[in-house]
Homo-oligomer: A and B are copies of this chain.
Amino acid sequence: MEVPLRWSQALIPTLKEVPQDAEIPSHRLLLRAGMIRKVAAGLYTFLPLGRRALLKVERIVREEMDRAGALEILMPALQPVHLWHESGRYEAMREVMFGFKDRRGGDLVLGPTHEEVVTTLAAGEIRSYRDLPRNLYQIQTKFRDEIRPRFGLMRSREFIMKDAYSFDADDEGAKASYEAMYEAYRRIFRRCGLDTRAVEADSGAMGGSSSHEFMVLADAGEDGLVECAACGYAANLEAARSRPAAAPAFEGADAAPEEVPTPGARTIEEVSAFLQAPPAQFVKSLVHVTADGPVLVLAAGDRDVHDVKLGHALGADARLADDDTVCEVAGVSAGFVGPVGLARPTRIVADEKLRGGRGLITGANREDAHLRNLDLARDVPDLEFADLTAARTGDHCPECGEALTERRGIEVGHVFRLGTKYSEALGATFLDAEGQTRPAIMGCYGIGVTRTLQAVVEQSHDKDGILWPVSVAPYEVSVLVLNRAHDPSRETAEAIVAGLEAAGVEVLYDDRDDRPGSKFKDADLVGIPVRIAVGERSLAAGEVELKLRRGGEVTRVPVERAVAAVGEQLEALRAELT
């Protein structure tokens, strides 16, 4: 049985002023509604209402993970650093990890993730294919030494994650484990009242073969994605593909290449202005350096080469060349480099979107000169094509060809297929049915639990405050007595509170000795989904006011119907989230 909370005995320090250092609506509202307080940069205390909402998100996550057959464990936040050396990730991750020595000189880090610990556990406990599949998860506190903690719980230095790790005997099993998590994630976010997109993502530093991010669309999101309204295709900017448009053909498409002087005009902006041609007609020619030598990378003048895509295309890390290398390769300084007439033979890779391009303009490999009428197929032998630039609004959906739209999003979950990277490095092997030792095939699956809580607020609020979905609201119903000194009002309110308590409803009872206007304002700010207000005027007619926070309709219900009416509203609200 949930005990109702009396506001007069609670700790709900609502703020009238807008906190100065909170940049996005959800951060401001969590502070203003008395849900969280900042302890230091990127470190927050959850106050009682925030803690309750967070526990509800945790419970939804736990129920759905259990339902999907995952097994809950709890690993320590402190991890011996040698595990990170063994996995080979120490150098890549050291900057974001808090690390220190213990009193006996041992090196420890605070885990930003737990692949190393869980794979070591599996190495010790999983012996045979009969022990597979297994999916181990935890709801646990993670730490990251962020360069710039911001946006409250969105990018904090200490946060709660649900992280799960699956171990399978074969690819088919790994795929099934991945799909089970994908489905569980859809259910989790739906139950939290979140509208999310499962977008194709790049696996990045985690390694592995495929991955999806679950994004909450929000203008304040730190991540970019494209989506197709027609077929539902969605991908983050690192991973987004697009169907090639018609080959870009410009004026001069059939003419022979011709050098034109462009004195001092190096950037696309400068040369575009100088030659009176649109940026899309230009080809950027960027010398990159890889472990296998220099590569000339081409992209349309109005697009940026994407590092992650370039890395995938080249199968290696690549960085922009320094001035000396540019000169060596092109015989000219950056700004006038082009694919025709390089000083030395060089691999050339062009963005897929340039395929078939004609009538283009690029550097002439001579100081203060550009080349026009470029036909890539005709003029650049041995040219390779690859997907090097991010998709954007207006590009064609790779699935259906309709126009893509660029959006901003908050990443609340991520599912990865890891393959055997960690199981091989850390010895998580098993004996298969033929008695052969093989590495387990892994997946990993994360949900930012604290971030999810804030994403709910980012997606569900209005100018007056939070609009909690009933599933994660700190309380389901708030009851306000407008004038505490008026005995019949107070007695009616308390009878309704008791009735709701008996019905198993979670009630926040605003029993404060305060002005009605101030109580209404606080109720809107805190955002409990259903509100009952007991005032002298309506009570004279034997009624109380029932208001839904979302939508805002106010209806009058007879006092004796109040508990039942609340129950009906809650049932309807819950039904929306299943």
Contacts and interface: CB of A to CB of B under 8 A. Distances in A.
Contacts of A48: 71-73, 136
Interface string A252-296: 000000000000000000000000000000000000000000000
Interface in A53-100: 54-55, 66-67, 69, 71-80, 95, 98-100
Interface in A104-150: 106, 108, 110, 117, 120-121, 124-125, 130, 134, 136, 138, 141, 143, 145, 147
A76 B43 contact: yes
Contact of A157 (B47, B78, B95): B78
Interface in A393-440: none
A319 to B, nearest CB: 22
A52 interface: yes
A71 B10 contact: yes
Nearest to A75: B45
A54 B39 contact: no
Given A40-B80, A143-B78, A72 B100 contact: no
Nearest to A34: B125
B102 A74 contact: no
A98 B95 contact: no
Contact of A37 (B37, B54, B121): B121
A504 to B, nearest CB: 15
Contacts of A45: 73-76, 117, 121
B46 A145 contact: no
B77 A77 contact: yes
A163 to B, nearest CB: 13
A378 interface: no
Contact of A72 (B39, B51, B117): B51
A20 interface: no
A219 to B, nearest CB: 28
Contacts of A158: 76-78
B39 A117 contact: yes
A9 interface: yes
Task: Bin the interface of chain A by size.
Answer: 35 or more
Contact of A54 (B74, B78, B147): B74
Given A46-B74, A77-B158, A69 B9 contact: yes
Given A39-B79, A78-B143, A47 B73 contact: yes
Given A67-B3, A117-B39, A141-B141, A74 B51 contact: yes
Most B CB within 10 A of own CB, among A44, A48, A74, A143: A74
A13 interface: yes
A554 interface: no
A95 B100 contact: no
B125 A11 contact: yes
Contacts of A134: 9, 11
A85 to B, nearest CB: 14
A344 interface: no
B98 A72 contact: no
A515 interface: no
A66 to B, nearest CB: 6
B76 A147 contact: no
A302 to B, nearest CB: 36
A463 interface: no
Contact of A46 (B44, B73, B77): B73
A120 to B, nearest CB: 8
A351 to B, nearest CB: 35
A537 interface: no
B103 A95 contact: yes
A51 B145 CA distance: 28
Contacts of A106: 40-41
Contacts of A55: 72
Interface string A1-35: 00100001111010000000000000000000000
8 contacts: A13-B125, A40-B80, A40-B108, A43-B80, A45-B74, A77-B141, A78-B98, A103-B145
Interface of A: 3, 8-11, 13, 37, 39-41, 43-48, 50-52, 54-55, 66-67, 69, 71-80, 95, 98-100, 102-103, 106, 108, 110, 117, 120-121, 124-125, 130, 134, 136, 138, 141, 143, 145, 147, 157-158
Given A13-B125, A45-B75, A51-B74, 15 more contacts: A11-B134, A37-B125, A39-B80, A43-B79, A45-B73, A45-B121, A46-B75, A47-B73, A48-B72, A48-B73, A55-B72, A76-B158, A78-B157, A98-B102, A103-B147
Top 7 A-B residue pairs of the complex, sorted by shortest distance between their CB atoms: A100-B100, A46-B74, A48-B71, A43-B76, A40-B80, A13-B125, A45-B75
